[in-house]
Amino acid sequence: MGGSKVAIIGAGSVGATIAYAIMLRDVASEILLVDVAEEVVHGQVLDLSDANLITSTKVRGATYQEAGQADVIIITAGAKQKPGESRTQLIDRNYKILQSVIGAMKPIRQQSIMILISNPVDVLTHIAQQLADIPRNQVFGAGTFLDTSRLRGLLAQKLEVSANSIHAYVLGEHGDTQFVAWSSASVAGKPLLSFPEFKEGDKEIIEKKIANKAYDIIKAKGATYYGIGACTASLVEAILLDKREVRPLSVYVDSLGTVLSVPAKLGFDGIERVFDIPLNEPERTRLEESAASLKEICAKYHT
Ligand SMILES: NC(=O)C1=CN([C@@H]2O[C@H](COP(=O)(O)OP(=O)(O)OC[C@H]3O[C@@H](n4cnc5c(N)ncnc54)[C@H](O)[C@@H]3O)[C@@H](O)[C@H]2O)C=CC1
Ligand SMILES: CC(=O)C(=O)O
């Protein structure tokens, strides 16, 4: 493991929480923090380095150029939603920030893996794939991994089994057009919809709760960061340890001509395979609608 460097661009709430979660997993030798707010980087480095007794991961401030040479580059720089604001409403501000951040890191090391977190994550991933000058399968977004964690948490409570033992995905946009692939959800090889604890009416209630969760957290405390911190640290571990985990991630889907979340295999080389998950007719329609809505936004930002 010696020598793995993870750069985090944007040292605000999300960037610092991702750094902290990576440090607790002890999978990287060094974390490089970059932010336009130098005082924020200074404070985060001082604070995070106090965890030194329980981790061997070092943390320091760095330049964009150093970050561009890291093994994994995580982009969290940018504006966050105000209460009631949608993720897509951030696009104008965060497109400009992404352009300047990628430009400042260039030339990016050809083997680097880039993970997009800033919102709207699907659109920004698409743009980053065009700008970064590294292979497309090495640039992906956290997508609906966090929403899927939210889904499995709710199902775990209902079925009284561990969230890890539930196979179910939120797919499409990490945003308002996302949907749950109920028809393929299962526990112990048994379709979720066949469990007596799970009622038809639960689908709509659960889907609404997941779609609204970020809005509810932002209304209550201004930002979400623990969930994405934990999810992103596990993605970094999957890359550095070549775990080949299957996660719903923002990837380019050839058949849809855009970037959105479908299950994908993640390992040392980045996205190593994109899976064509079986969907019923209404779910297929929702995936296509999600793609159409993202394509409309992406069309305005083509480089
Ligand atoms: N994909 C996901 O599941 C999630 C995405 N997010 C997104 O993450 C982003 C960050 O959220 P927070 O950390 O809460 O915001 P924050 O405001 O706490 O931090 C953002 C940081 O970006 C920095 N920044 C701005 N322009 C920069 C530049 N050109 N170079 C380097 N740093 C720059 C700011 O100085 C600030 O420190 C938002 O877009 C938010 O919507 C948040 C939670 C989950
Ligand atoms: C902010 C955001 O994208 C989330 O918590 O899902």
Structure tokens at 12: 């605000």
Structure tokens at 207: 């889907």
CATH of 5-141 among 3.40.50.720, 3.40.50.2000, 3.40.50.2300, 3.90.550.10: 3.40.50.720
CA distance 277 to 82: 34
- pLDDT tens across 132-186, in order? 999 999 999 999 999 999 999 999 999 999 999 999 999 999 999 999 999 999 9
pLDDT of amino acid 302: 67
The yes-or-no verdict on residue 303 having pLDDT over 60 is: no
Tell me how far the alpha carbon of residue 224 lies from the centroid of ligand 2, in angstroms.
6
For 198, which DSSP code?
Answer: S
Fold observed for domain 145-298: L-2-Hydroxyisocaproate Dehydrogenase; Chain A, domain 2 (3.90.110)
Predicted structure pTM score: 0.98
Which residues are annotated as part of the binding site for NAD(+)? 10-15, 35, 94, 117-119
The yes-or-no verdict on residue 62 having pLDDT over 80 is: yes
- pLDDT tens across 36-58, in order? 999 999 999 999 999 999 999 99
Tell me how far the alpha carbon of residue 210 lies from the centroid of ligand 1, in angstroms.
21
CA distance 85 to 42: 30
As for ligand 2, residues whose beta carbon falls within 6 Å of it are 87, 119, 146, 214, 224
As for ligand 1, residues whose beta carbon falls within 6 Å of it are 9-15, 34-37, 40, 76-81, 90, 94, 97, 100-101, 117-119, 121, 142, 146, 174, 223-225, 228
pLDDT of amino acid 1: 43
- Catalytically active residues are 174
Q: Using N-to-C axis directions, what is the helix angle for 121-131 and 91-105, rounded to 10°? A: 30
Annotated domain spans of the chain: 5-141, 145-298
- pLDDT tens across 230-247, in order? 999 999 999 999 999 999
* 124-127: long-range pairs with CB below 8 Å, 24+: 124/75, 124/91, 124/94, 124/95, 124/98, 125/250, 125/251, 125/259, 126/252, 126/258, 126/259, 126/294, 126/298, 127/95, 127/98, 127/99, 127/298, 127/301, 127/303
C-alpha angle with apex 39: 37 to 44, nearest 5 degrees? Answer: 100
Q: Which atom of ligand 2 is nearest to the CA of 214?
A: 5
The reply to whether domains 5-141 and 145-298 share a CATH topology is no
The yes-or-no verdict on residue 2 having pLDDT over 80 is: no
The rounded mean pLDDT for the chain is: 97
Which residues are annotated as part of the binding site? 10-15, 35, 94, 117-119
How long, in residues, is the chain?
303
Q: Name the nearest CA neighbour of 294 among 252, 264, 246.
A: 252
Cβ atoms of 95 and 74 closer than 8 Å: no
Cα-flanking dihedrals φ and ψ of residue 227, to 5°?
-60, -50
The residue nearest atom 5 of ligand 2, judged by CA position, is: 214
- pLDDT tens across 78-113, in order? 999 999 999 999 999 999 999 999 999 999 999 999
Cβ atoms of 174 and 147 closer than 8 Å: yes
DSSP string, 58-118: EEEE--HHHHTTSSEEEE--S--PPTT--SGGGHHHHHHHHHHHHHHHPSPPTT-EEEE-S
The residue nearest atom 2 of ligand 1, judged by CA position, is: 117
The yes-or-no verdict on residue 262 having pLDDT over 70 is: yes
